[in-house]
């Protein structure tokens, strides 16, 4: 196995003695390719992974080591992205506005329509738990000085 600390100079694909997909992918994973060749090297690795032929053992070991480093956040080549879904920063405001709109639309209704009813309706409509909608309402109700929830 080649130690990354021993790479003294980055080379281009054109400078590699072997320009096969295996050599290019290995050079990339070892950190010896110049930045401008990273895209081409990633495509070479993708072709190897999608191909029918088995991977060379050295390439398998380097790829496994790189994936381990990526999992630890120490990789310079690969990076693992979080699957955590980032919510829209304005989501709560839009939910609260929808609750207020629903509440205002039903003010004249008999029997009386309360904020908690609007929260339940909006939660059902958007497919979220009542708690999420209630939290959004409470957050924005204070900021916008809208009526408090009834007990």
Q: Which pLDDT value is given to residue 130?
A: 92
Average pLDDT, the chain: 81
Give the domain ranges of the chain.
Answer: 4-71, 91-144
CA 129 – CA 38 distance, rounded (Å): 45
pTM of the model: 0.47
Cβ-in-10-Å burial (0-12, 13-18, 19+) of 9 comes to: exposed
Q: Which pLDDT value is given to residue 8?
A: 53
* Cα distances (angstroms) measured from residue 103 to each of 100, 130, 145, 149, 151: 5, 15, 15, 11, 15
Beta bridge partners of 11: 33
68-122 confidence digits (pLDDT tens): 888 877 777 777 666 666 677 788 889 999 999 998 888 888 788 888 899 999 9
């Amino acid at each position: 196995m080649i130690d990354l600390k021993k790479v003294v100079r980055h080379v281009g694909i054109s400078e590699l003695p072997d320009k096969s997909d295996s050599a290019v992918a290995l050079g990339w994973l070892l950190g010896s390719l110049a930045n401008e060749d990273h895209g081409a090297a990633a495509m070479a690795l993708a072709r190897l992974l999608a191909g029918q032929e088995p991977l060379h053992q050295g390439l398998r070991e380097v790829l496994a080591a790189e994936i381990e480093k990526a999992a630890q956040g120490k990789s310079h080549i690969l990076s693992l992205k979080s699957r955590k879904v980032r919510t829209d920063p304005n989501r709560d405001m839009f939910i609260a506005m929808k609750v207020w709109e629903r509440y205002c639309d039903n003010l004249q209704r008999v029997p009386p329509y309360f904020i908690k009813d609007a929260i339940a309706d909006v939660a059902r409509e958007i497919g979220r738990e009542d708690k999420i909608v209630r939290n959004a309402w409470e957050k924005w109700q204070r900021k916008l000085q809208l009526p408090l929830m009834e007990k």
